Structure 1
């Protein structure tokens, strides 16, 4: 059985197994554990992307495809979204969701590792990720791949859990985040991989908002803007790839 320490190594096979074990309840738990804020966070990330209606968008670590769907809503008939993930169980659910919502003509999902994206340089106007880059084995390499496939002048968008800065709210939130969330997640998911104990631990071991901006800048992005949402529970980072 995988331990929390195993998961925190971010070894690809461990992360695949963990997400595969919770795939069927992933959407439900996202809604419950975020108090339904997750939808508005994705919508905001799309809004600050300044995405053109006919853009090509890549959503890495797409999971069940919710960010890809959010982007598709602002695109016209020429725009396209590709969602990539290396967890087969998640992609099966994403594909089912797209067919059910009749979005298969606008969104395509593929099985791919964020560290080795099967796309040519400068292909997408937007590359984005929601709550996934934290799980990539090599953070900087993952961001670098997103930058590589983004066209000059395009944007890399990262929506991720963060650490609140208000001390009073932080104390209350951390009690929920460290104690209640893992318990609720375990009861509903029945996962043997400690997925919802891993979540807060991975967030606390992840760079803060300024550290993440520094990582994005080190990969060549410029004018990286940080948007904090819901008292700093999550942040959206948007960086632009230079035109030359």
Structure 2
């Protein structure tokens, strides 16, 4: 056993997580607006779609990891029509603090619980939820495999894991336009709007391009013990 190597790898993952947390904390006030830019304003309809295909029942317990400012948690709570339970977790305190007023504005503060937690070490027992979900956040988890396994653990063998994430288009022409927008236009707009010293909207397009494609992600989820893995393409 090479203990030094294992420790250095653990420290590397921890440092990556800290950097990402600080980065998102720096853009929290414009996060929702810039998410719309990142998705060409499709993000809201995509979240609603993800919630609808989750087979939600009236008493379903849902965990939304990497919840950010709580948009997907809100989508699930609306679908539950005030029933069930939705917990949104995120390791960026500023995101949760900014998301709470959005939840209160919709009178959902008794239906959605926000907690500060690391997706790699979720503070829940096995089988605590029926659904665990994440929107545009799993690619920011320091260890993708460990993150998926944690999402699987808290729902157990009969639960569902739902991942909503960006993927690169397969159409050649649309892919060229997409890549130009992602790598050239978006970072420029992001820097102008966020005025952040931390270049989050250079990182975000790069993280999408580096993320596994849908077939690779499907395989990774199956390797993590998930069964009947399906994907839906929205663009």
Relative to the length of structure 1, the TM-score reads 0.88
Superposition deviation, residue 154 in structure 1 = 1.5
Q: Aligned partners of 1:78, 1:169: CA distance in 2, in Å?
A: 41
Structure with greater contact order relative to length (CA < 8 Å, sep ≥ 6): 1
Pick the structure with more helix per residue.
Answer: 2
- For residues 194 and 9 of structure 1, do their structure 2 counterparts lie closer, same or farther at Cα, with a shift above 3 Å needed? farther
Q: Aligned partners of 1:177, 1:132: CA distance in 2, in Å?
A: 17
Unaligned runs of 5+ in 1: 1-6, 231-244
Q: How many residues align?
A: 224
Q: Aligned partners of 2:196, 2:166: CA distance in 1, in Å?
A: 21
Pick the structure with more strand per residue.
Answer: 1
Q: Aligned partners of 1:18, 1:183: CA distance in 2, in Å?
A: 17
Match status 1:33 vs 2:38: yes
Superposition deviation, residue 192 in structure 1 = 1.1
Q: Aligned partners of 1:48, 1:138: CA distance in 2, in Å?
A: 26
| Match in the other structure for 1:11 | 16
Q: Aligned partners of 1:8, 1:37: CA distance in 2, in Å?
A: 31
Superposition deviation, residue 34 in structure 1 = 2.4
CA contact (8 A) 2:37 2:186 kept: no
Alpha-carbon displacement from aligned partner over 1:117-161 (angstroms, at most 9, x marks no partner): 000001100000000000000000000000000033211000001
Alpha-carbon displacement from aligned partner over 1:38-87 (angstroms, at most 9, x marks no partner): 10000110111111121000000000000000000111443110000000
Superposition deviation, residue 32 in structure 1 = 3.3
Match among 207, 215, 218 for residue 210 of structure 1: 215
Over aligned residue pairs, what C-alpha RMSD do you find?
1.6
Unaligned runs of 5+ in 2: 1-11
CA contact (8 A) 1:10 1:135 kept: no
Match status 1:149 vs 2:154: yes
CA contact (8 A) 2:77 2:83 kept: no
- For residues 33 and 163 of structure 1, do their structure 2 counterparts lie closer, same or farther at Cα, with a shift above 3 Å needed? closer
| Segments ≥4 residues shifted beyond 4 Å | 7-10
Relative to the length of structure 2, the TM-score reads 0.92
| Match in the other structure for 1:176 | 181
